[in-house]
């Protein structure tokens, strides 16, 4: 079985990236890397780097976004943890073979030129878990 290589990023649901920027940048000392819109997921993503790990602030751009539903239900806060993997389709097949439920049975496009797939929270003890395969450099 292919192990996860690293924590790729931590996703945090926010109502406004701009309002949180000072906290992450000035208060915590994370390095702001920019904002990207992921149209598929109806979110705007703000990136902050802390050492080797990136924080991904997720701001819904539409009320039908799953992140909007998350904030509605649970309030802003920790949304998901993403692990770096190689060969994402093979990894998904391995997990499914182990009986793990997936939200994404096939990889989809994430921010920063990555392919991603989410595990079902029922299979990951309530922590939304993302597998993330970097594609090339950014």
**Which residues sit at the interface with Zn ion, rule CB under 5 A?**
11, 56, 82, 130
* Listed residue (138, 115, 111) closest to 11, CA to CA: 111
Residue 59 vs 130, nearer CB to Zn ion: 130
The angle subtended at Cα 117 by Cα 66 and Cα 18, nearest 5°, is 45
* Listed residue (124, 118, 114, 92) closest to 47, CA to CA: 114
* Listed residue (29, 28, 111) closest to 67, CA to CA: 111
Residue 96 vs 111, nearer CB to Zn ion: 111
Residue 7 vs 100, nearer CB to Zn ion: 7
Contacts of 95 (CB under 8 A, 6+ apart): 102, 119
What is the three-class DSSP state of 16? coil
The nearest distance, CB 58 to Zn ion, in angstroms, is 8
The nearest distance, CB 10 to Zn ion, in angstroms, is 8
Residue 26 vs 52, nearer CB to Zn ion: 52
The nearest distance, CB 44 to Zn ion, in angstroms, is 13
The nearest distance, CB 7 to Zn ion, in angstroms, is 11
């Amino acid at each position: 079985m292919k192990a996860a290589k690293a924590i790729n990023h931590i996703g945090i649901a926010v109502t406004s990236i701009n309002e949180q920027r000072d906290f992450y940048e000035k208060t915590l000392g994370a390095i702001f890397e920019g904002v990207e819109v992921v149209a598929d997921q109806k979110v705007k993503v703000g990136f902050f780097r802390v050492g080797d790990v990136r924080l991904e602030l997720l701001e819904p751009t539409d009320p039908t976004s799953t992140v909007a539903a998350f904030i509605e239900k649970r309030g802003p806060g920790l949304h998901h943890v993403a692990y770096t993997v190689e060969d994402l389709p093979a990894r998904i097949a391995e997990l499914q073979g182990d009986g793990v439920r997936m939200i994404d049975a096939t990889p989809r496009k994430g921010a920063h030129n990555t392919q991603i797939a989410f595990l079902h929270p029922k299979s990951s003890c309530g922590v939304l878990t993302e597998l993330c395969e970097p594609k090339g450099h950014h």
